[in-house]
A and B are shown apart, each in its own frame.
Chain A
Amino acid sequence: MQLATATAAAKREHQTRAMLAVLLCTFINAASQAFIKLGTASLGAHPTMVQTALGIVTNPLLFAGYALLGASTVLFVLALRKGELSLLYPVLTLGYVWVIALSVAFFHDSMNPLKAAGIAVIMFGVAILGKNSTA
């Protein structure tokens, strides 16, 4: 009985840590999107596949963007080691929320009530998953 409780506690702690790692993932992911967006500006309107591939290694912004994307994937895999996929995957949606926030703050995108409501509803959904991983 005591052992079962200890195992359950350990499992909960793993889930919480995995959840925090995925949260960090969504931040890194949003940052990578911003870098990629900034970097593609130097590629011109219709870059070929070769130009894009070269750009990733020669353009510092694109390189940083794809490096961060890789880092977030590694972190996600590490989180999945102990965490449930059905709990962690939906949390990645939070990345969109940060992308929209960055777009409004730095890329002069507009904010409106519908977007704000969408962000609020997504965050509420993610909060349910977060609570589920700790309770």
Chain B
Amino acid sequence: MKTPLASIAWVVIGTVVGSFGALFLKIGAGYLSRNLKSLLTNWRLALGIGLYLFASVFYVMGVRNGELSVLYPMVSLGSVWTLLWSKLVLQELITRPKVVAVGMILAGCVLLGLGSR
């Protein structure tokens, strides 16, 4: 079975959507406080959860016609996008160990993909 380009596109778009979900979860987490009203009106958190769920729809669409071994490694691309938004939006420090770690996680997922063929 060959993995169609469309399946790869679904999964890659899913990782981008999911990384924005994580970004809004982080921003929303900054607005958490111990009262119900602030939780219910925390639109950033709601947007983050929504984007997270939305991303899973893309994964399901991708996995339907594609091989898991090809798509598996791609899901870890989400870490790369998240590192990017962490720097650009949240102004977090992207240190060398973080870059090395994400590189290793990507490499590990590629190996998992190869091993799942």
Contacts and interface: CB of A to CB of B under 8 A. Distances in A.
A93 B105 contact: yes
B32 A77 contact: yes
A78 B39 CA distance: 13
Given A86-B82, A118-B111, A125-B100, 12 more contacts: A81-B29, A84-B90, A85-B26, A85-B85, A85-B92, A87-B92, A89-B78, A90-B83, A113-B115, A114-B115, A125-B108, A128-B100
Contacts of A90: 79, 82-83, 98, 101-102, 105
A87 B25 CA distance: 14
15 contacts: A80-B25, A85-B90, A86-B82, A86-B92, A86-B94, A87-B98, A90-B79, A90-B102, A93-B105, A96-B75, A113-B115, A118-B108, A120-B108, A132-B97, A132-B98
A96 B115 CA distance: 13
Interface in B78-115: 78-79, 82-83, 85-87, 90, 92-95, 97-98, 100-105, 107-115
Interface string A71-104: 0010011101100111101100100100010000
Say which size band chain A's interface belongs to. 20 to 34
A107 interface: no
A37 interface: no
Contact of B105 (A81, A85, A126): A126
A73 B49 contact: yes
Given A115-B116, A129-B98, A84 B108 contact: no
Interface centre among B23, B30, B45, B79 (most CB of A within 10 A): B79
Contacts of B72: 96
Nearest to B117: A114
A120 to B, nearest CB: 8
Interface string A37-81: 000000000000000000000000000000000000100111011
Contacts of B7: none
A-B pairs with lowest CB-CB distance, top 4: A114-B115, A125-B104, A118-B111, A122-B108
B59 interface: no
Given A89-B78, A93-B76, A115 B115 contact: yes
Contact of A121 (B85, B95, B104): B104
